[in-house]
């Protein structure tokens, strides 16, 4: 069973993968939105890096999707 630190590392890696995929420079607002979404996806049972990354990339299409009025992960379900 993964440790808490390994889980946090995986969440961070998924967010970093989103930035690389969209070639976006990290910023606080996007990181907050993506981090919260990654945690929600994880809590919903998506426990692999590939799953989390795919969900972030598919749900938040580019930087503008991470802004205040962005859809929540609940909107995907």
Phi, psi of 36 (to 5 degrees): -65, -40
Domain map (residue ranges) of the chain: 4-69
pLDDT category at 61 given cuts 50, 70, 90 is: very high
pLDDT of residue 54 exceeding 90, the answer is yes
Contacts of residue 75, Cβ cutoff 8 Å, sequence gap at least 6: 59
Token digits of residue 4: 């808490």
Cβ neighbours, 10 Å, residue 10: 17
pLDDT category at 68 given cuts 50, 70, 90 is: low
pTM of the predicted model, to two decimals?
0.83
Token digits of residue 27: 């910023």
pLDDT, tens digit, 9 for 90 and up, residues 9-39: 999 999 999 999 999 999 999 999 999 999 9
Q: Return the DSSP state at 62.
A: S
pLDDT category at 71 given cuts 50, 70, 90 is: low
């Amino acid at each position: 069973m993964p440790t808490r630190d390994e889980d946090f590392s995986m969440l961070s890696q998924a967010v970093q993968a989103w930035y690389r995929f969209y070639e976006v420079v990290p910023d606080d607002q996007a990181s907050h939105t993506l981090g919260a979404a990654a945690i929600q996806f994880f809590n919903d049972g998506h426990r692999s890096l590939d799953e989390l990354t795919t969900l972030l990339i598919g749900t938040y299409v580019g930087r503008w999707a991470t802004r205040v009025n962005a859809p929540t992960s609940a909107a995907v379900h």
